[in-house]
């Protein structure tokens, strides 16, 4: 039998009748705890010898301590998906504030419902944010069960907003667009230029902030996204006239980056998100409501192009390629045909049928 230190916790492993057994003790991997860890190991072994099913002793952990360990694990777990970790970490800011000194094993669905009520009533979060918060807690409790901090995941009995309920996007009107960018130009040129490139090209914010000057071909009027996480995300885009003007101005200077203020694209996105939030707060003080997030500029581009697609001037596959999506399924959320769009489409279809019928009649007459 032997003890192992993994992620700062004593674990043990041994074989009994040729079958391997592994388990965490839940104790910090210190010399002070080593004896207690060995006792747990011996108890497990003795229960097997006595023909009894090993019991899992619950390790008492305060939420604040458990959350710290969980976030350390999550950072490693999602190292290939840093945005997933970032979302979990963001959600845990409010969870830590609410559950801080409570014992993990004592948290049940009533506690989670109280947390939900606080997020909805006091913090006034949207369904999409609440969904992220509750899913982060669910991942935490799954991890906590494995660490023997609790026996059950209380989220199983809690209603979580569905994908349909949680989907939110705000499509800017022409008036909102004009007023927002007037204020952005005066407040923060980086925010203005990032927002315009998102709206004009359908770019993700991190795709804009990670642009190197070598990625811009001013002669061909093209832009290359070379750091996408999927083959579809790595793409070449044709620049609009305004995009060319913005990028030409930003090509000046010695830096090799289009947005040189931050070498870390994710940190730069965070800064610009904060700049956007600050602009919205100042606008609200002036009686102007900008009820959208920075990412809605990409949604606005996609929805405007999808609407144009309904007029047969553009196809959805091309839109998916421009946005860097792997499939058309992701595009469907941007397609919201109005009654007028449907009438226009059917009128065009009817005109095609009538033209084909008339052509057929003329050919019959000539025959």
Structural domain boundaries enclosing 132? 63-166
72 is a domain residue: yes
Q: Which residues contact 38 (CB under 8 A, 6 or more apart)?
A: 3, 12
20 is a domain residue: yes
pLDDT one-digit tens code per residue, 211-225: 999 999 999 999 999
109 is a domain residue: yes
101: closest CA among 56, 59, 60, 145?
60
179 and 291 fall within a common domain? yes
What is the chain's pLDDT, residue by residue, as a tens digit (367 residues)?
Answer: 678 888 788 888 888 778 887 778 878 888 888 888 888 888 887 877 777 765 667 888 999 999 999 999 999 998 888 878 888 999 999 999 999 999 999 999 999 999 999 988 888 787 888 888 999 999 999 999 988 899 889 998 898 887 655 556 788 889 999 999 999 999 999 999 999 999 999 999 989 998 999 999 999 999 999 987 788 889 999 999 999 999 999 998 888 999 986 556 667 787 888 899 999 999 988 899 888 889 899 989 988 888 776 555 457 888 889 999 887 777 777 766 666 666 776 787 788 888 888 887 788 777 6
Last residue of a domain, one of 166, 185, 219: 166
pLDDT value at position 72? 93
30 and 98 fall within a common domain? no
Number of domains in the chain: 4
pLDDT value at position 262? 53
What is the pTM assigned to this prediction? Answer: 0.59
187 and 272 fall within a common domain? yes
37 and 71 fall within a common domain? no
Q: Is the dihedral of CA 174, 179, 182, 185 positive or negative?
A: negative
314 is a domain residue: no
269 is a domain residue: yes
Which DSSP letter does residue 132 get? Answer: H
pLDDT value at position 241? 94
pLDDT value at position 339? 66
69 and 138 fall within a common domain? yes
pLDDT one-digit tens code per residue, 269-322: 878 888 999 999 999 888 998 888 898 999 899 888 887 765 554 578 888 899
74 and 124 fall within a common domain? yes
298 is a domain residue: yes
245 is a domain residue: yes
220 and 182 fall within a common domain? yes
Last residue of a domain, one of 114, 138, 166: 166
199 and 296 fall within a common domain? yes
* CATH number of the domain enclosing 200: 1.10.443.10
86 and 134 fall within a common domain? yes
**By CB neighbour count within 10 A (0-12 exposed, 13-18 middle, 19+ buried), where does 330 fall?**
middle
158 and 188 fall within a common domain? no
- Angle in degrees, CA 71, 77, 80, rounded to 5: 120
Last residue of a domain, one of 49, 71, 87: 49
157 and 249 fall within a common domain? no
204: closest CA among 360, 58, 330?
330
185 and 216 fall within a common domain? yes
311 is a domain residue: no
Q: Are 213 and 254 in contact (CB under 8 A)?
A: no
* CATH number of the domain enclosing 96: 1.10.150.130
pLDDT value at position 87? 86
Distance CA 203, CA 225 (A): 9
């Amino acid at each position: 039998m032997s003890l192992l230190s993994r992620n700062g916790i004593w674990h043990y492993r041994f074989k009994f009748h040729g079958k391997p057994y592994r388990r965490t003790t839940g104790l910090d991997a210190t010399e002070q705890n080593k004896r207690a860890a060995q006792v747990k190991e011996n108890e497990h072994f003795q229960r097997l010898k006595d023909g009894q099913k090993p019991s899992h002793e619950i390790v008492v952990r305060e939420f604040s301590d458990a959350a710290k360990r969980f976030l350390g694990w999550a950072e490693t777990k999602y190292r290939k998906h840093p945005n997933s970790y970032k979302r979990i970490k963001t959600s845990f800011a409010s969870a830590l504030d609410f559950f801080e000194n409570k014992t993990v094993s004592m948290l049940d669905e009533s506690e989670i419902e109280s947390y939900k009520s606080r997020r909805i009533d006091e913090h006034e979060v949207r369904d999409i944010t609440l969904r992220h918060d509750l899913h982060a807690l669910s991942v935490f409790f799954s991890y906590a069960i494995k660490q023997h901090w609790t026996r059950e995941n209380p989220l199983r009995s809690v209603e979580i907003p569905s994908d349909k309920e949680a989907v939110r996007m705000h499509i800017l009107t022409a008036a909102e667009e004009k007023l927002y960018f007037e204020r952005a130009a005066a407040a923060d040129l980086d925010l203005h230029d990032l927002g315009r490139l998102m709206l004009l090209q359908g770019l993700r914010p991190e795709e804009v902030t990670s642009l190197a000057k070598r990625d811009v071909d001013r002669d061909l009027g093209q832009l290359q996204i070379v750091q996408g996480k999927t083959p579809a995300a790595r793409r070449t885009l044709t620049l609009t006239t305004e995009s060319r003007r913005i990028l030409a101005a930003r090509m000046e200077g010695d830096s090799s980056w289009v947005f040189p203020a931050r070498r870390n694209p994710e940190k730069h996105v965070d800064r610009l998100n904060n700049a956007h939030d600050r602009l919205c707060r100042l606008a609200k003080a002036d009686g102007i409501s900008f009820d959208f997030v920075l990412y809605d500029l990409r949604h606005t581009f996609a929805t405007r192009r999808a609407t144009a697609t309904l007029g047969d001037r553009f196809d959805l596959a091309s839109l998916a390629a421009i946005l860097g999506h792997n499939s058309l399924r992701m595009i469907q959320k941007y397609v919201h045909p109005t009654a007028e769009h449907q009438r226009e489409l059917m009128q065009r279809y009817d005109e095609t049928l009538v033209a084909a019928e008339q052509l057929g009649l003329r050919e019959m007459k000539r025959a």
